[in-house]
Amino acid sequence: MKLLALLRTGLFSLYQSVKRFPLTIFLTTATTVLLIITSRVDGATTIETLGRLAMATALGVPITLSIALAFERMKSSRAAEYGSYALAFCLLILYYFFLLPEFGMVPITRYIAVTIALYLAFLFVPYFFNRSGFEMYVIKVLSKLLVTAIYSAILFAGLALTLLTIDLLLGINVSFTFYTNVWLVVAGVFAPCFFLAGLPAINQDIEKETYPAVLKVLLLYIVMPIILTYTVILYIYFLKTLFTLKWPEGTVSHLVLWYSVFSAGVIFLVYPLVRDNKFVKFFTAWFPKLVLPAIMVMFMAIAVRINAYGFTENRYFVVALGVWIFGVMLYYSLAKKFKNIVLPVSLALVALLAVMGPWSAYSVSRNSQNRRFETLAAEYNMVNGNTLQKPDREIALEDKKTIISILEYFERSHSLREVRLLPSNFELINMEQVFGFSRENIWAIPGKQVYFHLHTQVKSLDVRDYDLLLNSDNLRQEAITVGTLTVKYSPEDMELKVLGGNQELYANSLQRFAEQVVERHGAASLELPVEDVTFVEENENIRMKLIFTRITGVNEANQITFDDLGFYLLLKIKH
C-alpha cells in the first residue's frame, strides 16, 4: 500500500508540473526527440540542422519558465500571457535563423551566454525586485536540482542494468545508441518533470523555511575557512612579488577571478544566517573589502597580456567577468544592507552585453586584432590605400609569427574576410605571394622539435560506387572483416592491407600519401580543404579512396616524422 501511495504521489506531482509548465515540458520533450533522431541519422548537414533545432528548443525552456513564473506573480490576463509565449516562439525562430546559422565559435559562445542569462532570469523573476527570501528560494531550487540529478542517475543506472541483463541473458543485442537514447529520455523528460514538480509555488513563504543543516555545516566550517586560507596565501604571494620585483604570472588572473566568483556565491548562500551567526556577519562585512585589492592585481596582470597580444574573446570574457565581480564586491563593501538579487540580475546583463552589440566580445576582439595586424603592416610599408603590398624589407621572425597567429585567429574563430587589409580571395596557403614568406617551418627552432597538426573537416562523404566505408579510429583497434573481405591497418608502420580470403588485394604504406600533403602545404598546424587530402588508387582487384582527417607529426631540422594518421577509407571490390 505504501508503494502504491508513493507512486500515486509521484504521478500527481508530475501531473502538477505538466499542468503548471505545459510549454516548458513540451520543449524539453521536443529537444529530447530531436537529440534522439540526431543520434540515429547520417549525414553531417542533417545532423547539424537537427542539432541547431535542438539548441533552439532548449533555449525556449528557460524563456517559457520565466514567462510562466512572471505571470503567476503578476496574475495578468490570459491574452497577455499567451501573447508573451507567442512572442517568445517568434524570437526563438529568429534566433535559429539569424544567430545560430552554424556550429562556429561565435554562435556557440553566444548561445552559452544567452542560456546562462535566461536561466538566471528564471531564478530571479519570481522575486524581482523587492521581495524577501530570495536566498532561501535559490537554496531550495538548487537542492531540488541536486535531488533530481541523483534520482535521474539512479533511474538510468537501473534501466541500463535491466538492458544489460536482457542483452547478456536473452541474447537481444542492445546498442550503445539505445543506452544513449534512454539517458536522453531520463534527462530530457523525467528530470524536468520531477524538478518542476518540486519548484516552490509563487505564494509560498520561503523565508520561514529552516536553513538546511548540511549546507550550513559545509559552508561555515569547511568552505569559508578554506576561502580565508586561500586569501592569506594570495596576499603572501603578492608580498613576494613586491620583494622580488617580479610581476605576477598570468595564471594568477584566473586563480583570483574564479576564487572571487566562488566567494560571491558563498556570501549569497550564507546571507540568511547573518543575523544569527557572528562568523557569517564578520565574513560578509570584511571579505569583500579584502578581495578588492586582489581583483585589482588581476586586472593589472590581464592588462599586460592584452597590451602584448590584443583582445580575443577569451580575454574579453575574463575582463567582463572581472568587472562584474569587482562591482559586486564593491557593492558588498559599500552597501549597509545589500540585496542579493543584484548578483543574478547584473550577471545576466553582463552575459547578454558581452555577446550582443558593437561592444560585444566579437566586435572588440576583431577590431583589436585588426589594429595589431595593421600596425605591423604599416611598420613594413605594406599598406597601399586599403590593400596590402609586399613588405619593403625582410619581416623579423617574431613579427612573422605574430602575423600568422593573427590570421590563424581569424580563420579559426571568424573569417579571413574580416581582416580589413587582406584581398577578398586570400587563403593561408597564399601567404608567400602576399607577405613574402610561407607558413612552412616558420615556427621551427634550429635543433628543436616542432609539432605539427594538419587537419580537415569532412562534413559529408559521397559513397556512391563504393562498397565499404571505414574509419581509422576503428581500424587501429583490430582488423575489420566484412564477408570475405578483411581490412588491416597498423598505426606503428602506417601499413594498410586489404585481403580477400587468403589473397592480398591491396597493400601500401599510407605515409607516402601524408608526405605528399606535407610537400604541398608544409609541416605546419592548419586546416586544409578536403580535396587536398583525398587520394584515389586502384588495381585489377580493388579501388580505394583515402581521405585524411588529420596528419600529426614532428619536424626536426626539416626531418619529418609522422605520429598519427586519421582517415576515412572507401573501398570498391572489382571482382
**Strands 495-500 and 468-471, how do they pair?**
unpaired
- Together in a domain, 497 and 532: yes
pLDDT value at position 282?
A: 92
**End position of a domain, from candidates 305, 337, 356:** 356
Query: Are both 39 and 179 inside the same structural domain?
Result: yes
Q: Given 356, 380, 405, which residue is the final one in a domain?
A: 356
Distance CA 377, CA 388 (A): 8
Which of 161, 185, 206 lies at the terminal end of a domain, its last residue?
206
pLDDT for residue 370: 95
Q: Which residues of the chain have pLDDT under 50?
A: 1, 445-448
Q: Are residues 338 and 402 in the same domain?
A: no
559 φ/ψ angles, rounded to the nearest 5 degrees: -100, 115
The verdict on residue 444 lying in a domain is no
Same domain, 17 and 139: yes
Tell whether 184 is covered by a domain. yes
How far apart, in whole angstroms, are the C-alpha atoms of residue 330 and residue 458?
50
- Distance from chain centroid for Cα 358: 23
Show the cell assigned to 93. Answer: 525562430
Residue 370: CB atoms within 10 A of its CB come to 18
Helices (H), 356-430: 361-379, 397-413
Q: Which three cell numbers stand for residue 80?
A: 497577455
- DSSP per position, 460-499: ----TT-SEEEEHHHHTTS-EEETTEEEEEETTTTEEEEE
Could you please report the per-residue DSSP string of 176-194? HHHHHHHHHHIIIIIHHHH
- Domain carrying residue 72: 2-206
| Same domain, yes or no: 119 and 138 | yes
Calculate the alpha carbon distances from 550 to 138, 508, 571, 574 in Å. Answer: 47, 18, 20, 29
Please check whether residue 441 lies inside any domain of the structure. no
Amino acid at 494: M
Looking up cell 517568434 gives: 90
pLDDT at position 329, please? Answer: 96
Please report whether residue 442 resides in a domain.
no
> How do residues 307-332 score in pLDDT, each as one tens digit?
989 999 999 999 999 999 999 999 99
Count structural domains, the chain.
4
> Does residue 440 lie in a domain region?
no
Q: Does 429 share its domain with 394?
A: yes
- 308 and 255, same structural domain? yes
Same domain, 37 and 184: yes
- In degrees rounded to 5, what are phi and psi of residue 209? -65, 145
Q: What is the pTM of this model?
A: 0.78
Do 568 and 459 lie in a common domain?
yes
Whether residue 443 lies inside any domain: the answer is no
What pLDDT is recorded for position 170?
A: 81
H helix intervals, 128-223: 134-170, 176-185, 191-197, 213-218
How far, CA to CA in Å, does 78 sit from each of 3, 21, 89, 167, 201?
39, 14, 17, 51, 19
Give a yes or no: residue 79 inside a domain.
yes
Q: How far apart are CA 199 and CA 499, in angstroms?
A: 62
What's the pLDDT score for residue 201?
82
43 and 165 in a single domain? The answer is yes
**Could you tell me if 346 and 379 lie in one domain?**
no
Same domain, residue pair 136 and 222:
no
